[in-house]
Amino acid sequence: MALWALAAGIGLFGCGPSGPARPQGGAPRVGVVVIHPEPAVLTTMLPGRTSPYATSDIRPQVSGILKARLFVEGSTVKAGEALYQIDPAPYQAAFDSATANLANAEANLVTTKLKAERYAALLKQDAIGQQDYDDAEAAYKQAAATVLEQKANVESARINLGYTRIVAPISGRIGRSSVTQGALVTADQTTALATIQTLDPIYVDINESSTELLALKQSIAAGQLSRHDPVSARVTLELDDGTAYPLDGALQFSEVTVDPDTGAVVLRAIFPNPHNVLLPGMYVRATVVEGIDQKAILAPQQGVSRNEKGEPTALVVDDKGFARLRLLKAGQAIGDKWLVTSGLEPGDRLIVEGLQKVSPDMPVDAVPAGSPARSASLAAHP
């Protein structure tokens, strides 16, 4: 009996806090993955709103009675397409009058030119006085100036006549018309007749916290992130109902000032919108690529738990074969893994299988996760 008690005491002492050099054969078998640094694309989801690529308010450049509206409200129009027709009659009359005045001026120019040429010849023969020649030459030059003036009047009348047909300055979707046939429109009115918005492509204005932007710049300056990869300019969208927008966009620029009311900086991205799925003013969530971390520590999500404080934790196997608890700092999820910024080091063996049978500081039998040995252990001890 004394020998048995002594042996039991020795056994209890051997299982004390320091533990044996290696776990005994009865230790639970766990599957582990070895942590290796690897490149990871870091993204962030930010709120944003869509805005048109280009906007044009249609206003008349001449006054008159509106004879016709030549477009369908809500349709797509092309640049140069006729939208409205103002009564051209008074402008046609002004153009015809200017044309007639030009013809009269040109006819007068011919006679004054011939008279000036004759007087020049007579002056050489001393047949007329110098004053008579000077008067004839001045009349000719005045007639030439009148022709130039009348040409300008004709061109002005032609432009005004052309303005009676109001055309689209840009291509895009046109909204409702604020006037109908028979309305009087004026050249200096403030109310637009209609508005055209170019929706393909379309802008998305994204709000990012200035604090986050500063931290991102510091990470890039420290060499932790790289933004020289073409993927860094890529942006994806999630619509307000949670569905993904099928086409990717690209970052264009960011504002140089911070909004004092929100503390945010606006990032502008451009997206193709061939089917007009995106409309101006829509709320969206944009996923922006912040950069590439070439030495990211990624932990499979099944190997990360939460303690009673909600902090992420993990169990790793040390070089003596014991499970050790690690408190982690985990950032965003990348696929089925967590980006770990603190708590794990390259070479750590993270337990991802058999966690329900393991407690911190317990000896374990570690095998690669998904290995036949681990599968056999699970089959034998479900």
pLDDT, tens digit, for every residue of 85-114?
999 999 999 999 999 999 999 999 999 999
pLDDT at 65: 95
Q: For residues 109 and 106, what is the distance between their CA atoms, to the nearest angstrom?
A: 5
Residue 370: left (phi > 0), alpha (psi -120 to 50), or beta? Answer: left
DSSP 177: -
pLDDT at 151: 95
- Of the candidate ranges 147-151, 269-273, 292-296, the one whose mean pLDDT is the lowest: 292-296
pLDDT at 144: 94
Cis amide bond preceding 272, omega within 30:
no
Q: For residues 118 and 140, what is the distance between their CA atoms, to the nearest angstrom?
A: 12
380 has pLDDT over 70: no
The band of 9, judged by pLDDT with boundaries at 50, 70 and 90, is very low
The band of 240, judged by pLDDT with boundaries at 50, 70 and 90, is confident
Tell me the per-residue pLDDT of 295-344, one tens digit each, with 9 for 90 and over.
Answer: 788 889 898 998 888 889 999 999 999 999 999 988 778 888 888 888 89
Within 128-263, strands assigned E span 165-167, 172-174, 184-185, 194-209, 234-239, 249-254
Domains detected in the chain: 23-38+295-380 (2.40.420.20), 43-53+201-287 (2.40.30.170), 63-85+165-191 (2.40.50.100), 88-163 (1.10.287.470)
Kindly state the average pLDDT of the residues 341-367: 90
29 alpha-carbon distance from chain centroid:
50
Place of tokens 């005004």: 160
Triad 151, 152, 153: Cα angle to 5° = 90
pTM score, whole prediction: 0.65
pLDDT at 265: 77
pLDDT at 19: 41
- Of the candidate ranges 205-209, 252-256, 322-326, the one whose mean pLDDT is the lowest: 252-256
